[in-house]
Structures are given as structure tokens and as C-alpha cells.
Amino acid sequence: MADHHHRNVQGGGARAAVFGVSDGLVSNVSLILGMAGAHASAGNVRLAGLAGLVGGACSMAAGEYVSMRAQSELMQHELDVEREAIHHDPEVERRELATIYEHRGLEAELARELSAKMMSDPDLALETHAREELGFDPEETGQPLQAAGSSFLTFALGALVPLLPWLVASGLGATLWSVGLGAVGAVSVGAVLSHFTGRRWLWSAGRQLLIASGAAAVTFGIGHLVGVG
């Protein structure tokens, strides 16, 4: 049989970092070009870009923390309920586990033996019920603070890319540099995403570039029509 390898489809941290950079890049290049399209002063563009970076990063971090904390607390609650059930009604839980194994194709006798083995150790019983009945690993209920910090940093990194030219230049030159850096950033993000999706990097990079370009074009057009006045 030919040797083959699988990508790590559970690499949530790495994927979240890439998506954080993508969100920061798309949102801030759109904001900056919207301000540039309105012919705002370089100072106003810088202020808007910095506000977009800090505000967006804080919003991403807060949202990630709240959602991850809620998920973690829900998982812990379900584990507590299951732990109590295993302690007070072990036979009911054993039969429940045996039924799960039977539905997965095991013969009734083997399912009973396997469920009895799993229930012999309380920790193993809880882990097994969490995996088989609740659908998650009790050792992996999430790390809200880590997720929030990662979201903040990766969003800020992406948002900084189109802002860099306005820290040292202004006018048309800074606008063109923002467009160029935004395009390079979008292509890079798309290429990295192709590692997780398995698609050709050119297709993934092109899609990411199209999304970023579309968002930036819309905000630039709105800014040009509305103007700073």
C-alpha cells in the first residue's frame, strides 16, 4: 500500500491565527482606502487606521474570549452532570454506553464487555462518556485567555500591513503602497490557507485577493462619493 500523509485538520490554533490576520488585513485596508478615497488628510487616515487596528483587535479578542468562555463553561457543566450520573447510576450509564457501541456495529456481548471495562475506572468512564456521548475530549475544553490574546495579536498584525505606508508617507504614494502591501498580504494569507484546505495555492491566493480587493474597492468608492466634507 502506498504511503500517504494527512494534514492536521485539528490545528485550530494555526487556522485561527491565519483567519485573524486575514480579518485584520481586509478590514483595515478597506477602512484606510475608504478614508483615502474621501481625500482625508494623512493624519486623519493614520488616526482611522490606528483606531481600526486597536478597535478591531479588541473586538476580536473580546468576542473570542466570551464565546470560548461560554463554550468552556458549557462543556464543564456537561462533564459535571455526567460525573454525577456515573457516580449515582453506574449501571444505567454502562447500559447507555453499551447501546452506543451496539449502534456503532459491535455485537451485543462485546458491547457489554467493553462498556463494563470502560466503567471500571471512574476517570476512564468519564472520558469515554465525554467522547462517545457528548462528543468532545474532557481535556480540551478550550483556553479563553489564550484564544483572546491570539486573536488580538493576529488581527493587529494583519491590520498593521496597510497602515505602515501612512506612518512614513502620505497622499497618492501612501495609498498606492497600501494597495500593494494589502495585495501581497492577501496573496500570502491565501497561500497559507491552501495548506489547510488542500486546494491549489494559486486558487486560494486568488480568491483571497479578490475578496480583499472587492472590499477595498467598495469602501474607496464610498469614500470618494461622500468625501470628508
Alpha carbon 166 to its chain centroid, in Å, reads 29
Structure confidence by residue, pLDDT tens digits, 71-97: 888 888 888 888 888 888 888 888 888
Confidence of residue 8 (pLDDT cuts 50, 70, 90): very low
Give the predicted TM-score (pTM) of the model.
0.77
Count of alpha carbons within 13 angstroms of residue 13, beta-carbon side:
9
Count of alpha carbons within 13 angstroms of residue 95, beta-carbon side:
3
Structure confidence by residue, pLDDT tens digits, 90-116: 888 888 888 888 888 888 889 888 888
